Amino acid sequence: MQTAIEMSNATGTRVTPVKGSSFRGAVRVPDLFRRGSVWKNYNGIVRVFNYKGHLMVARAQETEGALRSGGEESGSQEDSTYPSIGNVPRPNVIPWEDVIMVQAFGWDSCNHDGHWYSMVEKELSIMKSVQCTHVWLPPPSASVSKEGYLPTQYYDLSSRYGNFDSLVSLNRALLDQGMAPIADVVINHRCADAQDENGVWNTFRDDIPHPGARIDWGPWAITCNDPDFNGKGSRDTGDDYGPSPDLDHSNPKVQEGIIDWLRWLRSHVGFEGWRLDFVKGYDGESAKLYVSSTLQNGEFAVAEYWSDAAWTDGYLEYNQNAMRQRVCDWLDEAEYAAAFDFATKALLQEAVKNCEYDRMMDSEGKAPGLLGWWGERAVTFVDNHDTGSSQQHWPFPSEHVMQGYAYILTHPGIPCIFWEHLMESSEMGKSLCRLAMLRKSSGIKATSELEILAAEKDMYVARIDGKVMVKLGPRPDMGNLLPESGWELYCSGQDWAVWRSI
């Protein structure tokens, strides 16, 4: 059992060679060790842990190997690999209607030699300047893909963005500044660690000691209609995700494992909410279970339900009611989560790109996206790591980005500012800061009253709560809609302007 493990003496530390323990797998564990309550880096893939009062050490020499004997083979594990985040004051829970979120990464943020968390920590003042209440961070777990969206062992927090120490340091700093860290939670699918007897990747390991249920699952945890991974679970309740085994979210053991992990992310790592990735892959009832079991005081959760827009021969239809209805149906089922407003993004970017601002009012005189139907559950955004960034799957026209922000930061809904826009230039950063300050000082909320005064081909004008007015579009003459007595121009740019009441 010990052939793959070399016993090693940690510098300056008395250690006991491991004869065996309930801890499984000295492979791919974080390079941390604990001496009393102090955690330090230790060179190499090494685990030093306190076992029954003895400091023990093992170094992995191969890609396979395990430390076994003593203790139980199943059930929960003692958490001796990671310390708790401790008594860090958590900010008061902010009502969803007051949330302003920053997505603090892009698609290439993983290409910074594991220093991304540290880089973000140095920019907290910039996020505070845009009145940020919540900070969406990248997927925390080890992953087959460097970007983090093909997770393997949930409790292994050694990713291309940083390690446990740097993530906890960032979360501590955010909490200290009154901002809530939001974890990008990828649970629709999970990449296996080993192949079965037929060479199919459908066996999951659980090498990292942690409290709660074990996550060393087998084919029983994979949906039976997954076309590639020979799952033996129940049928999938959502869309298939081809690159990785789809998890069976109806299985109590899968549910327990995910819930315990999410609770651990809160207690040990400092997260205060979730961004749920690819929720089209599983039913809203499962999302409801996970959120209600882990965020019990109204903390924020938002889901990525990227529903297809209606197009005809490459032309975006004006009416996107079916798109937003699908999201509303999912939200009804999920109950405790908001959703990104892809309908507003679709219509807004086509409006500014093609000078079709008449898109921005539906047949009932409301905003045409999700925010027009359910503002307190609609997270509005201009771009994210998928749509923009280096992927450019569906980018907002770069020359009109500030029109997008002039809209989402003055309108109902829950605005999300993209990191790459915030950091793009000092001029854009100043404009975002001004708009966010106005939103806060004017008391604009996700549920604010929206009056659309004009939605014509070359001009859109709206008034929000009777306190703020916004104009988009190239038309220079607003006619009698130009705010005069009782209003002042607050900020403006190419084809956009915002006024506030005085």
Cα–Cα distance, 77 to 68 (Å, whole number) = 13
Instruction: Find the catalytic residue in 277, 350, 356, 495.
Output: 277
E-assigned strands of 18-131? 32-35, 38-41, 46-51, 54-60, 101-103
Q: Which two tokens stand for residue 234?
A: 């129940």
Query: Which residues fall within 8 angstroms of residue 79, CB to CB, at 6 or more apart?
Result: 209, 210, 211, 264, 268
Asked if 144 and 245 count as a contact pair (C-beta separation under 8 A), the reply is no
62 tagged catalytic: no
- Type of residue at 417: I
Helix 342-354 / helix 401-408 crossing angle, nearest 10 deg: 130
Report the 10 Å Cβ neighbour count for 485.
5
Instruction: Find the catalytic residue in 165, 216, 272, 304.
Output: 304
Q: What does DSSP say about strands 134-136 and 315-316: parallel, antiparallel, or unpaired?
A: unpaired
277 tagged catalytic: yes
Beta bridge partners of 189: 246
Cα–Cα distance, 278 to 276 (Å, whole number) = 7
- CA atoms within a 13 Å half-sphere pointing along the CA-CB vector of 281: 24
CA 34 to chain centre: 30
Q: Reduce the DSSP state of residue 375 to 3 states and report it.
A: helix
Residues with a catalytic annotation lie at 277, 304
